Amino acid sequence: MDGLSTITQKGQVVIPQSIRNLLQLKPATRVYFEVKYNAVVMHPVLSIDQALGMIKTRKRASQADYDKAIREGMAKRFKKTLI
């Protein structure tokens, strides 16, 4: 897939809509740039949630594990608001 864009005075480039759709790039998606063979290559950067979702494990979390994690997270957040 090809696309044409122009670099603005601020160094910004608009990624063509067809390419954004193909790569499922949404606003605020972080991207990584690298130079390869005298060309700029852009890669979407996975969020922590996306990356963790790719990790396979044999251990299954129980409802008690979920409840404990929620309680700990709420306690941590509540503690931060009191400080």
Task: For 51-70, write each residue's pLDDT tens digit.
Answer: 565 566 677 778 888 888 88
Query: Average model confidence (pLDDT) for the chain?
Result: 81
Specify the pLDDT at position 32.
Answer: 87
> Residue range 75-80: average pLDDT?
72
Q: Which residues contact 5 (CB under 8 A, 6 or more apart)?
A: 13, 14, 15, 16
Percentage of the residues of the chain whose pLDDT score is greater than 90: 19
d(CA 56, CA 53): 8
Task: Tell me the chain's radius of gyration from C-alpha atoms.
Answer: 20
Whose tokens are 């690298």? That residue is 34
Query: Who has greater pLDDT, 82 or 27?
Result: 27
What stretches of 7-83 show up as alpha helix (H) in DSSP?
17-23, 48-54, 63-82
